């Protein structure tokens, strides 16, 4: 069983930045960030593999950067140039034989 602890959410004005962190209780293969806005389905934001390959949603490419520190079993999401449409609950997801989800952290971007 892997436990995930997220941190770093909050409120920011448009154009601002936030960094999310997700610490896993063990080694993880694939880690990613997903988000869900009210009334919307959960969507992939960014994913990083154990080899460091990354994938981004078109809506965040160029503004968000995902990275990982395997020594700390932690994945980060640096979010720059935030827009009101980035407002959502952000969830960390980890894959190691099974899928594990964090509890979610709220990100609110005001115009």
What's the pLDDT score for residue 73?
93
Confidence of residue 1 (pLDDT cuts 50, 70, 90): confident
What's the pLDDT score for residue 9?
93
Q: Per-residue pLDDT for 27 more than 90?
A: no
> Which residue in 97, 94, 103 sits closest to 75, CA to CA?
94
What's the pLDDT score for residue 78?
98
The answer to whether the CB of 111 falls within 8 A of the CB of 14 is yes
- The per-residue pLDDT for range 30-88, each reduced to its tens digit, is 999 999 999 999 999 999 999 999 999 999 999 999 999 999 999 999 999 999 999 99
């Amino acid at each position: 069983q892997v436990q995930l602890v997220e941190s770093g959410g909050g409120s920011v004005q448009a154009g601002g930045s936030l960094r999310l962190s997700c610490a896993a209780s063990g080694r993880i293969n694939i880690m990613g960030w997903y988000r869900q806005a009210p009334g919307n389905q959960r969507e992939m934001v960014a994913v990083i593999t154990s080899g460091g390959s990354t994938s981004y949603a078109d809506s965040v490419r160029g503004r968000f950067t995902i990275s990982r520190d395997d020594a700390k079993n932690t994945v980060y999401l640096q979010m720059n140039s935030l827009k009101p449409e980035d407002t959502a609950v952000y969830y960390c997801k980890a894959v190691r034989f099974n899928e594990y989800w964090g509890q979610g952290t709220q990100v609110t971007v005001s115009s």
